[in-house]
Amino acid sequence: MKYTIENKDKYSILKLKDDKLNELISSDLKSQIVAMNQDGVRNIILDLSEVSYCDSSGLSAILIGNKLCKKAKGSFVLVGLKVNVKRIITISQLDKVLSIVPSISEATDLIYMEEVERELANASDEE
C-alpha cells in the first residue's frame, strides 16, 4: 500500500497515495490504523485527497479507524474528500457519524478543540 505517515505532537496524519480505496488496499489500511492505535496514537487525520474511488471495504476501514480512535478517547478526521468519495460517504449516511473537514489545518484545529473539551470534561468529572 502506498501511504505516508506524519507524526505530530497530538496527532498523526495518514495520507493515502493511491487513487482507489478498495478491497486491495483496505485491509492494509485497517492494519496500519490498528498498529498506530496500538502504538498510542489516538488522534488520526486520514488524508484522502488523492483518492477518487472508495468501495464498501474502504468505508469499513474508515469506520474501524473511527471506532478505534473514539474508543481511545481520541479523534478520527477525514480530509480532502473528492466528489465521488464524498458522495459514497453521504449515500451511506456516514457523514453523520464521521468528522469530515476540507483541509489538514481545519482537522488540526478540530483535534485540538476536541482535546480541550475532553480535558475539561475529565476535570469536571474529577470534581
Q: Where do the domains of the chain lie, and which CATH numbers do they carry?
A: 3-126 (3.30.750.24)
pLDDT digits (tens, 9 = 90+) for 76-103: 999 999 999 999 999 999 999 999 999 9
Confidence of residue 41 (pLDDT cuts 50, 70, 90): very high
From CA 113, how far away is CA 97, in angstroms rounded? 18
Residues with Cβ within 8 Å of residue 27, at least 6 apart in sequence: 57, 61
CA 20 to chain centre: 16
The pLDDT of residue 13 is 98
The pLDDT, as a whole number, for residue 120 is 92
pLDDT of residue 126: 75
* Beta strands, E only, 1-125: 3-7, 12-16, 20-21, 44-47, 53-54, 76-79, 99-101
Whether 125 shows a pLDDT value over 90: the answer reads: no
Tell me what pLDDT residue 1 has. 61
For residue 127, pLDDT over 80 is answered with no
Determine the pLDDT at residue 123. Answer: 85
